[in-house]
Structure 1
């Protein structure tokens, strides 16, 4: 196993670009999370449709000046596709008699906040219970990049397959189990060490990061395990590294966004929401959010266990598939 680790490390030093890119992405994601958490005060972007008469009502004036929403006045309602593209969180149509109509594709919580602000424009203060804290934002923004790093470092395993080196390894004194565990250990270590180092530096610099360093170590370790297992799982089905990277990156990007890594857009109890809960990223971010707010429950803990189980399944499939392709032939 040490021979595999040493060999992967030497090859990484020859391709320093991957290490630099992964560290840069991690730093950018953490900085983005910290900046957005500390500076974003609005609860959403609202398109307020008004007529010449309704624009002058007291409600229209007060709502448009709300510090909790970024309100854009317009005479024609934007397309619903603008909400899909996240340009607007909701469209509020103000009527001349003081009534209003709200249209949104976001969760019911968004609609309730808008209704609350419209019903009590002078005294409305939104609840922060649903908001993510700094630690959850950091883990959420890092998640996609950490998972993609697994694909970066698994390329050495893929190259062994692509260049038929693995066939020689199977017949060498190195046991197949040690060979695969060597690659897994290398990938896991290269994901965990730089990521935790960035968090450690942020802590030393006095940046508010939410969780303790020990908690971050645990969370990053679990995310690194998932990234490692998925990367090996995917590469076990392809003999060309670029193919696995392309498919893996697209899959990770799409599923992580759907899982609400950056923000949640699925309505609770909807079919899409139930399907999204099958994604380990969704269960992971739910656990992180509950942990930071002190709202851990049995159901949340089971979601955390689900992430570990999925990781184990990915790894076992990778072992069995690779073993069948090279050892049993």
Structure 2
């Protein structure tokens, strides 16, 4: 009954429902277009009048220059990295350490052609993270409305527990966020587009993303009123997604700033997508970290709401 009620109330704002679906579809299509523009792992500029002593260059576009390009060429992604040839190869890039290590590996070792499929999947998944989180935030506005109108108290008096209410709100949010995004991926896959990961892999990543997004949205709605939630949560989602490098990684992973960025949930999700086929200890720790955050967010929301209800 609660699930049906949540869905019917959301359907009253079907224009916004379709808007978020359109934005998510647009972000995925843009990611597909960007990631399929080049079959190469990276586009680099080498500053030297000598040829780069590489064993393999089939995975990297190499441009030899006699001067250092502008730093803005890295920001605009004209080049992914600058390479200077001194006693050793020195890589200048705004991308993370994993990228630098992968680039040097591709340039200096004999290997099989790089599997661009995984790299493409990472790009597509990164682009959809922010929009899926925004979807979840919209779907949970019903919780904020019910809290402000004291509907939760009336629902509780009628015999429906807070846990049952939050469960139904979470189910409808997860199902709508997951199904709308996954259906777009299925359509692109059937249409012959290269989407990087398999549909099974996307199903796993989307499940993690929607679970976390829903827990975060529930937490924000429990802490703030409806208007404040919309503004503050949207700002947090946009800023943390940009810092995490979901669209483009422009901040290095070292130092205090890098440490702070590495604990952002979006960054953890991206890391999981990069090592999807070969989980290591850090990825398992990432799963535990995300699960802990989901548990903590729900716990805070439940405690906060029960305390609020006891005062009325």
Query: Where on the TM-score scale, by shorter chain, does this alignment land: which range?
Result: 0.7 to 0.9
Three-state SS of the structure 1 residue aligned to 2:223 is coil
Equivalent pairs, count: 304
The counterpart of 1:307, out of the listed 268, 286, 290, is: 290
SS of the residue corresponding to residue 220 of structure 1 reads: helix
Distance 1:177 1:130, change over 3 A: same
Structure 1 residue 281 and structure 2 residue 279: aligned? no
Alpha-carbon distance in structure 2 between the residues aligned to 1:134 and 1:301 = 23
- Equivalent in the alignment of 2:26: 28
CA contact (8 A) 2:118 2:196 kept: no
Name the structure 1 match of 2:309. 326
Partner of 1:14: 12
- Scaled by the length of structure 1, the TM-score of the pair is 0.76
Please report the RMSD computed on the Cα atoms of aligned residues, expressed in angstroms.
Answer: 3.8
Offset of residue 45 of structure 1: 7.5
* 1:159 matched to 2:157: no
SS in 2 for 1:263: coil
| CA distance in structure 2 between the aligned counterparts of 1:177 and 1:107, rounded to whole angstroms | 41
How far did residue 156 of structure 1 move?
1.0
2:238 pairs with 1:256: no
Alignment of 1:114-133 (within 5 A): 128=114, 133=119
Shift of 1:68: 5.3
Give SS of 2:263's match: coil
Give yes or no for contact 1:41–1:68 (8 Å, CA) kept in 2: no
Asked if the contact 1:170–1:326 (Cα under 8 Å) also holds between the matched residues in 2, the reply is no
Check conservation: 1:170, 1:327, Cα contact below 8 A. Answer: no
Could you tell me which runs of 5 or more consecutive residues in structure 2 were left unpaired when the two chains were aligned.
52-58
CA distance in 2, matches of 1:13, 1:73: 57
CA contact (8 A) 1:266 1:273 kept: yes
CA shift digits 1:245-268 (9 cap, x unpaired):
111111111111211212333334
TM-score scaled by length of structure 2: 0.80
Mind listing any 5+ residue stretches in structure 1 that lack a counterpart? 49-53, 60-66, 95-100
Aligned mate of 2:172, from 168, 186, 189: 186
Report if aligned partners of 2:126, 2:247 keep a CA contact under 8 Å in 1: yes
Within-5 A mapping of 1:166-245: 166-239=152-225, 241-245=226-230
Alignment correspondent of 2:300? 317
Separation (CA, whole Å) in 1 of partners of 2:201 and 2:17:
24
- Find the residue that maps to 2:245 and give its secondary structure: coil
Output the CA distance in 2 between the equivalents of 1:35 and 1:22. Answer: 20
Alignment CA distance shift 1:164-1:261 (3 Å) = same
Following superposition, the deviation at residue 232 of structure 1 comes to: 0.5
Q: Which of 240, 259, 281 does residue 298 from structure 1 map onto?
A: 281
In the TM superposition, what is the alpha-carbon distance from 1:210 to its structure 2 partner?
A: 3.0
Q: Distance in 2 between matches of 1:166 and 1:316?
A: 17
